[in-house]
Amino acid sequence: MRFFKEINSKKISAVLAVVFIIGLAGMTFYSRAYAERRKPLVQIAFPESSSLTWSFETRSTIQAATEEYASSQGVEWTIEVLIPYDSFKEYTNELHSLAAYAISDNVGFPEFISFLRRTVLGNGDHVYVFAYSSPHRKGRGQSVWPGEEVAVLLSNMFDTTYDYLVPPSAIYEDVFTGEPYIFTVTRRESAWGREYVAVRQDVTLSSPSRIGNLVNLSLLHTDDPVVVTSDQPLSDGMLVRLFD
């Protein structure tokens, strides 16, 4: 009888041990899941690259060429365009080579106009003079008259490529210095497996400050993705999650 009692006692102990282990594992997984859910949920993206194109549309009139252009260059008609400094100051201090087209109501589609002269005014505004000649009108026997209004389309493709463009939501501002910074996310292995850590990176805004709807950073010293949004405030070294 004592022998059977010892066997039953061992079975009960074994069952209790299994129950304890299962309960401990369950509590551990629950605690882990609870801790994971409390981490900030972030969305990440890699910086984008883009080139910059400045464009501007205005209206002007066709005028008979002055003697300066008529005698020396054989130009018959000119178009003078004022380009305000405010329209390009975020892109460059001065405009140079422009692609220029004019749209007359009598033609209805863009026609190339060639550069004659550029003058930079004291306030930074630019005045361009273009030669206008319409082979389409000549082919149709249509004439040009002084004062005829045209829409002028101007654009400038810059050679520079900007490689560190991020959404405005990725930019934070230091409350004490006012300097901008971002958070990147790095991956590390721990006793609990793979973890994701937010790392603060001080940044410098480049010129121009915007390329399209993205913020232009001068340089990033990491290849890690950038935090675009977070559902909680972040701090340097904070554990975050990428999936809900």
Report residue 72's pLDDT band, with 50, 70 and 90 as the boundaries: confident
Report residue 201's pLDDT band, with 50, 70 and 90 as the boundaries: very high
Burial class (CB in 10 A: 0-12, 13-18, 19+), 3: exposed
Q: Between 4 and 126, name the one with better pLDDT.
A: 126
Asked if residue 208 has a cis previous peptide bond (ω within 30° of 0), the answer is yes
Distance between CA atoms of residues 36 and 43, nearest Å: 16
Question: Region 222-241: what's the mean pLDDT?
Answer: 96
Question: Do residues 81 and 115 lie in contact, with contact meaning Cβ atoms separated by under 8 Å?
Answer: no
Question: Region 1-18: what's the mean pLDDT?
Answer: 57
pLDDT of 205 strictly over 50: yes
Distance between CA atoms of residues 160 and 64, nearest Å: 38
pTM score, whole prediction: 0.61
Question: Region 223-234: what's the mean pLDDT?
Answer: 96
Question: Region 34-45: what's the mean pLDDT?
Answer: 84
Question: Do residues 242 and 53 lie in contact, with contact meaning Cβ atoms separated by under 8 Å?
Answer: no
Q: Looking at residue 120, what is its pLDDT?
A: 96
Q: How many helices (H) and strands (E) does the chain have?
A: 3, 15
Distance between CA atoms of residues 226 and 36, nearest Å: 20
pLDDT > 90: percent of the chain: 59
Residue with tokens 């300097």: 179
pLDDT of 2 strictly over 90: no
Mean pLDDT of the chain: 86
| 209 contacts: CB under 8 Å, gap ≥ 6 | 90, 215, 216
Q: Looking at residue 30, what is its pLDDT?
A: 44
DSSP 29: H
pLDDT of 25 strictly over 60: no
Report residue 192's pLDDT band, with 50, 70 and 90 as the boundaries: low
Task: Write the pLDDT tens digit of every residue in 53-63.
Answer: 889 999 999 99
87 backbone dihedrals φ, ψ, rounded to 5°? -80, -15
Question: Do residues 151 and 79 lie in contact, with contact meaning Cβ atoms separated by under 8 Å?
Answer: no
pLDDT of 81 strictly over 90: yes
Task: Write the pLDDT tens digit of every residue in 112-156.
Answer: 999 999 999 999 999 999 999 988 887 677 888 899 999 999 998
- Report the run of H or E that residue 173 belongs to, with start and end: strand 172-173
Q: Looking at residue 122, what is its pLDDT?
A: 95
